[in-house]
Copies of this chain bind each other. A is one copy, B any other.
Amino acid sequence: MSVLVVGTTALDSIKTPKRENPRLLGGSASHAAIASSFFSPTKLMGVVGGDFPAKYIALYKKHDVCTGGLEHVKAGKTFHWSGEYEVNMNNRRTIETVLGVIEHWQPSVPVEYETTPYVLLANIAPQIQNHVLDQMARPKFVVADTMDLWLNIALEEVLRLLKRIDCLVLNDSEARQLTEEDNTVAALPKIHKMGPRYVIIKKGEHGSILSSPKGLFVAPAYPLRKVVDPTGAGDSFVGGMMGFLASQRTGSVDRNLRRAIIHGAVVASFCCEGFGVAVTTKTTRAQIAARVRELEKVAGF
């Protein structure tokens, strides 16, 4: 079945001690949609300015991502994030964020998108996530990603969103922030009480934890020897997960979600191996399948 991905479509400029990587394709929806496209037909909703390179539209198309919901504001500028890595590549700091056309975006869901069964509200303002959900006709499964920024400045909107979605994805520090609970595992039931039946906590290189009515799933990350740029890894994770989930015709949600998380983790591992989507976009289904088999081997006992 098909997946609708809504989120940011951006340009990322990433400086490292060795080189500049100006205006790469970035944004939560770009990473998530490309990741999802490995497994299921994927539709993209986002907004870009007149400065958005045609080659990036071509890149979405290469992955068969439907761009019918990608708005072009010719007179505006694309959301642009620039950041810099320190020498050891461990710390990344933001140099500048220019919201551009995303600041006043009021997305209008195309009629042909309204009945998409799987909806991924990738990281973007929760007002926008809610507004998109208002326009959808009874989706089968809705996943939302979020970030600390929204917990700080738009908590009420996040809480309103939580009552309307099937699954929330967030990282461990965000889970602690949302629940005021130090222990990640103890934070989970508190998040369920806020609405979502499924909660996934991302822990980067340490994997993730799924909490569902059937209990916990402690998922490994793919063990990478070299991380070039983790930007977009979380988005690739949730996109790959959603794409895989939508591709499953049989099996329980719980079992399928476990397999989906493993596939998301593998797509995220490819994302980390290059700047922007450089490596993700060169990845094949066969390479993904090989790493999933490898992960089965390294995690079994």
Contact = CB atoms under 8 A, between A and B. Distances in A.
Q: Give the contact-size bracket for chain A.
A: 35 or more
Contacts of A224: 183, 185
A161 B180 CA distance: 45
B182 A89 contact: yes
A186 B226 contact: yes
B259 A301 contact: yes
A121 interface: no
A216 B298 contact: yes
B301 A182 contact: no
Interface in A167-218: 182-186, 203, 205-207, 209, 215-218
A298 B215 contact: yes
Nearest to A209: B223
Contact of A219 (B183, B184, B205, B301): B301
Nearest to A262: B301
Interface in A87-119: 88-90
B206 A88 contact: no
A193 B258 CA distance: 36
Contacts of A18: none
A225 interface: yes
Contact of A217 (B88, B185, B298): B298
Contact of A227 (B183, B218, B261, B301): B183
6 contacts: A185-B225, A207-B207, A218-B299, A258-B301, A259-B301, A296-B301
**Closest 5 pairs between A and B when the two form their complex, measured CB to CB:** A206-B206, A258-B301, A218-B220, A185-B223, A186-B225
